[in-house]
């Protein structure tokens, strides 16, 4: 099977063709998903709760992500594979690159990072070093100890602030967005500016 690439997904966006993305944690499910034609998969730090039994994503390590990335890659060798950088994986730019390199060596095609405007320079550093980045806004479980609960921040964030943040990140060569929300009061925003759909991925142009 021909590998799925970022350029192929960008072509889907240009042609307004939809594609499915699903979270996978192991070889068996990745193989099953690939056989059903799902060609974009994510190894999420949600494995901390769904696989390891923790009450949050915070205990998940880069080594955990790399382990599950290798398993999913073996099950779906042709998929475009995104892998999360877990809590504290971006404590400074150098650590961000080292950790991104570790999960990419394990089989990821792209790293997904959770955060806001403070990550702009980290995104620039990663993309300049050939690490594709998926920006993650909205539901931010790594911030559970700041907000007290796992809640969808973007749904209550002012529209102008959201668009400003997306614009700043886009200029740093993001490859796609992961917009994890349950409801947006402004989800009918102009499609020329709003490059995502709620609860899914949106490709940067």
Across the beta sheet with 176-180, what order do the strands follow? 21-23, 40-43, 80-84, 110-114, 133-138, 176-180, 200-203
77-122, pLDDT tens digit by residue? 999 999 999 987 777 778 889 999 999 999 999 999 887 667 778 8
| pLDDT tens, residue by residue, 36-90 | 999 999 999 999 999 999 988 899 999 999 999 999 999 999 999 999 999 877 7
**By three-state DSSP, how is residue 86 classified?**
coil
Residue 187 contacts residue 162 (beta carbons within 8 Å):
no
Highest mean pLDDT among 91-95, 169-173, 200-204: 91-95
Domains in the chain, ordered, with CATH? 6-203 (3.20.20.60)
């Amino acid at each position: 099977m021909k590998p799925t690439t970022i350029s192929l997904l960008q072509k889907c966006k240009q042609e307004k063709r939809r594609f499915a993305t699903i979270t996978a944690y192991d070889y068996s499910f990745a193989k099953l998903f690939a056989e059903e034609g799902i060609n974009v998969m994510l190894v999420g730090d949600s494995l901390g709760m769904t696989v390891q039994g923790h009450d949050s994503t915070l205990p998940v390590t880069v080594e955990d992500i790399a382990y599950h990335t290798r398993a999913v890659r073996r099950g779906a060798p042709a998929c475009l594979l995104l892998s999360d950088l877990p809590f504290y994986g971006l404590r400074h730019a150098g650590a961000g690159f080292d950790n991104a390199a570790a999960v990419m060596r394990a089989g990821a095609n792209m790293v997904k990072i959770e955060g806001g405007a403070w990550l702009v320079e980290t995104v620039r550093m990663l993309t300049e070093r050939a690490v594709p980045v998926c920006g993650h806004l909205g539901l931010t479980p790594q911030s559970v100890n700041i907000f007290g609960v796992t809640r969808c921040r973007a749904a209550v964030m002012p529209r102008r602030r959201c668009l400003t943040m997306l614009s700043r990140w886009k200029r740093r060569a993001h490859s796609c967005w992961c917009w994890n929300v349950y409801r947006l009061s402004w989800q009918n925003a102009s499609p020329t500016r709003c490059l995502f759909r709620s609860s899914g991925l949106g490709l940067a142009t």
